[in-house]
Structures are given as C-alpha cells and as structure tokens.
C-alpha cells in the first residue's frame, strides 16, 4: 500500500487489492503498518483510535476477513488503552472473529537523515508489553510490527514459543529501508527458521514522507520468494511446510541454542 490520511479511501483501495488474491486456502493475508491512515496530520491517528473489539474500522476489517474467507493480520492501527493509544496489529479469523491483538513493543524514536528528520512514536503511542504467538491452520503465527525487526530477542522468543510464520506490518523509511530492510528480514528468517511475511508501505505519502516498500516473503532458509518493490500490489506464495521441517531437522538450531530469551519476571 501507499496509504493516505483518509481511512475510507484506503479501505476502498484495499478491497480492490484483496479481490486479486489467489483462491487457495487456508490463506494468511498481512497488511502494512498504519494501513488505513498514514501520511497526514499526526493527530489523525488519535482521532480514529478505537476501543479494542469495538469500532467501525475493526468491524470493517472483520467483515473483510469473513467475506474473503482468510486469516487477516490487519497491519496496525491505533487502539485506546485507558487515556492512551497503542499501535496495535489484530488477527481476524475467516469467521470474522478477533483472535489476537499485538501492541507494538518497540517504538520508533529515531533521528533519520531524511525530510522528516525526527521520529518520536512514543509521543503518540504507549509501548506494548507482551509479544504474541497464536495458533492458526498455517502453523503458529508470531506477530511483530516494523521497528521490532531490529530486536532479535523478540523474534527468538517467538520461535521458542513455536512460531512458524512471523508477520511484520511496516512503514520503513526510505533511508533506513535502503540500508537495512533486506538484511534484517532475511536474518530474522534464517535465525529462527521461520517464514517472514513483511508488508511495507512503499511510496511517497501525502505529507511528503517516503517509505521504502519492498514488501516481501522470505522462507526459513532466508530466500526471498516474493517481493514487490514499490506502490500498491499483492504478492503471494504457497507455504512449504515440508521444506521448513527439513531445514529445522537438518540444522536444529533451536535445540542447539545455549541462550534462551525470557519475557517478564520469573515466577
């Protein structure tokens, strides 16, 4: 996607793209970060924020999952948490049910040598607290968002919880994406012997911000099996579970690991 600031316009374009998906099932669809509102007034995200499991945007996304009969990782969008807002990614089932919610843990508080220069997501969002891994018919799904990609401990933790596929909605800047996007995604896939499904914003947005694009799917051997460089579009691959099992059997890195990631306090 190259999302704009008006949710209704983004949603209309999203429906057109989803209608082009192949028919094989079961199917997992991953949308980019800030898929329905991006590149406008920073306060717009606060305006459209909804309470968890309650609001027109969530109902529309749930209806899409049910209409097209797929599992939908709905990118990320703002959800209310008391008097604050989280950058949340939701998983909807083909029945239109909300199955999981992941609140972005690592917020992009970074200075970048581009036209925007200063990014401070923590001015708008509350840090998430807990990583997410959830069972689906395609295997166990780990959920991350954008800047999380730079923190391998989170991905190792998800693998330790059985992740087979990891979704990564993103809006990487052109500068940081050009430098590190491919390297980081392939590294996380190789380290954890998982599929990485990385849906990135890709183009110039209404506020002049440029995102890197290069949405891609990487297999557990680190091979880029599908990629879309810029603009709107759809990429799709058939998951090869046998190949993943063979890679994990031939090189059982999760069994060989001498260091393990723990989340939260030990009981």
Q: Is 104 one of the catalytic residues?
A: yes
- Rounded CA separation 26/164 (Å): 15
**Assign residue 13 a region: left if phi > 0, alpha if psi is -120 to 50, beta otherwise?**
alpha
Q: Is 230 one of the catalytic residues?
A: no
Residue 232 contacts by C-beta under 8 Å, 6 or more apart in sequence?
Answer: 1, 2, 13, 17
Among residues 37, 101, 104, 194, which one is catalytic? 104
Query: Is-contact 169 31, C-beta < 8 A?
Result: yes
In angstroms, what CA-CA distances link 60 with 66, 103, 175, 192? 10, 20, 33, 34
Q: Is 266 one of the catalytic residues?
A: no
Among residues 50, 66, 97, 146, which one is catalytic? 146
Tokens of 102: 């992941």
- Rounded CA separation 106/1 (Å): 22
Q: What is the residue whose two structure tokens read 């891609």? A: 216
Question: Do the strands 195-200 and 109-111 form a parallel or antiparallel pair, or are they unpaired?
Answer: unpaired
3-state SS class at 227? strand
State the catalytic residues: 33, 104, 146
């Amino acid at each position: 996607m190259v999302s704009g600031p008006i949710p209704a316009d983004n949603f209309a374009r999203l429906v057109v793209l989803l209608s082009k998906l192949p028919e094989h099932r079961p199917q997992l669809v991953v949308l980019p970060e800030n898929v329905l509102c991006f590149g406008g007034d920073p306060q717009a995200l606060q305006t459209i924020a909804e309470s968890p499991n309650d609001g027109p945007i969530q109902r529309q996304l749930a209806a899409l999952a049910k209409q097209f009969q797929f599992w939908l990782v709905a990118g990320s969008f703002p959800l209310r948490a008391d008097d604050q807002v989280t950058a949340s990614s939701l998983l909807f089932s083909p029945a239109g049910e909300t199955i999981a919610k992941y609140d972005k843990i690592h917020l992009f508080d970074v200075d970048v040598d581009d036209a925007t220069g200063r990014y401070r997501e923590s001015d708008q969002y509350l840090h998430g607290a807990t990583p997410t891994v959830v069972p689906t018919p395609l295997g166990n799904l780990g959920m991350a968002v954008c800047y999380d990609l730079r923190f391998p401990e989170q991905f190792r933790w998800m693998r330790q919880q059985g992740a087979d596929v990891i979704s990564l909605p993103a809006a990487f800047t052109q500068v940081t994406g050009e430098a590190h996007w491919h390297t980081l995604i392939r590294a996380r896939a190789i380290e954890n012997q998982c599929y990485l499904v990385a849906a990135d914003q890709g183009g110039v947005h209404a506020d002049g911000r440029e995102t890197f694009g290069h949405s891609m799917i990487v297999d557990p051997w680190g091979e880029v099996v599908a990629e879309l460089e810029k603009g709107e579009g759809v990429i799709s691959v058939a998951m090869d579970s046998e190949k993943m099992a063979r890679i994990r059997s031939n090189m059982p890195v999760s069994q060989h690991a001498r260091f393990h990631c723990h989340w939260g306090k030990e009981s």
